[in-house]
Amino acid sequence: MKKIVTIVGARPQFIKVAPVSRVLRQSFQEVLVHTGQHYDHKMAGVFFEQLNIPQPDYNLGVGSANHGAQTGEMIIKIEEVLLKEEPDAVLVYGDTNSTLAAAIAASKLHIPIFHIEAGLRSFNRVMPEEINRVLTDHVSSLLFAPTEVAVKNLATEGTSSGVHNVGDVMYDAVIYNAKIAQENHKIEDFGINEEFILATIHRAENTDDPERLKAIFMSLNKLSKKVILPLHPRTEKKLKEQGIFDLVENSTTIKIIEPAPYLEMLFLESNASAIVTDSGGVQKEAYFAKVPCFTLRDQTEWVETVNVGWNTLVNPIKDDLKELVDSYEEKPYVEGLYGDGKASEKIVEYIKNFL
């Protein structure tokens, strides 16, 4: 049986790996490597439990660090695993430092790389995620694009060999888990009994810019409905460093909760009246849940959600978030932007043919 090493490290990747591993393990020996990029139980361990992901064969324990140090340590440790396991291919997801480190380590050892979520572009090279996804695409043998726009992005860069539009594996995960989430949770579990807006903030372009960070939380504080904020540890640290955590903690509008595991997030997303986020995955989950999304970024790689009117890009310094949320008029829902929910099966078929 052919062997595939799958490398993940961050919360969104755990969600994506769940549906793919279920299908992949029917035909291949999968060795699962967790780099440790997201390492505490709330950000990592609970996902493996909820989504029935097999426990990692390797946990590299890299943890937080500056980009260069973190990526460098990952390359060293991933290379050690690849030399030991001698896989037929390496499977990577998305655009994290774990993705780039795996791509560099595998390419140097001449091991084929399969990239899930290939071809996404925000066209903003300031974003570390943009660098990660571009570089990974250019050393991959199979590029699994979630949309036709992603396929065109790759063609524009001169990459067409090995490119396949399979749809989005996150849609596979939502279809599989949405009903479970609704059956196992109720709104009172989160200490609220009124209409609410869900907010998530974690990206470096927002958290590391004091002006943007303050503008975001001032805007959230002005919204007309209660704001439920599962607070990312990194964002909490930055709020405290900037001296605005007390404003958030004492707000009558913003209700801080612990980082929400996947099923709880699906439940909150589907029951929110609107979602404010800077997360790529949450943008899509908002679309799947048919909830309007307001994305606190100047660009997004998920342009389809903007084009059909279910996602609005918001500059937190220049734009009035409250006005945008209050004046939003629901658009006709466009089905099928991200495939048919069978991306995992298509991916495994292409891998079989390649190997």
Residue 41 appears among annotated catalytic residues: no
* 240 shares a domain with 145: no
> What's the token pair of residue 123?
């066209």
Q: Which of 103, 55, 114, 56 is nearest to 79 (CA)?
A: 103
**334 lies in a domain?**
no
| Number of domains composing the chain | 2
pLDDT digits (tens, 9 = 90+) for 138-188: 999 999 999 999 999 999 999 999 999 999 999 999 999 998 899 888 888
104-113 tens-digit pLDDT: 999 999 999 9
Please check whether residues 19 and 154 belong to one and the same domain: yes
Domain containing residue 61:
3-168+339-354
pLDDT score of 343 more than 80:
yes
How many whole angstroms separate alpha carbon 60 and alpha carbon 9?
Answer: 9
Query: Do both 203 and 221 map to the same domain?
Result: yes
At position 352, the amino acid (one-letter code) is K
Residues 61 and 107 in one domain: yes
Residues 146 and 188 in one domain: no
State the Cα–Cα distance between residues 144 and 349, nearest whole angstrom.
12
The DSSP secondary structure of 330-350, one letter per residue, reads PPPP---TT-SS-HHHHHHHH
Calculated CA dihedral for residues 273, 278, 282, 284, nearest 10 degrees: 100
**CATH number for the domain that contains residue 60:** 3.40.50.2000
- 164/29 same-domain check: yes
Helix (H, G, I), strand (E, B) or coil at 113: strand
101 lies in some domain? yes
Cα 340 from Cα 150, distance rounded (Å): 16
Is position 232 within any domain?
A: yes
pTM: 0.90
pLDDT (tens digit per residue) in 243-291: 999 989 999 999 999 988 889 999 999 999 999 999 999 999 999 999 9
What pLDDT is stored for residue 39 in this prediction? Answer: 53
Number of H helices, E strands in the chain: 16, 13
Q: Which of 34, 38, 202, 232 is catalytic?
A: 202
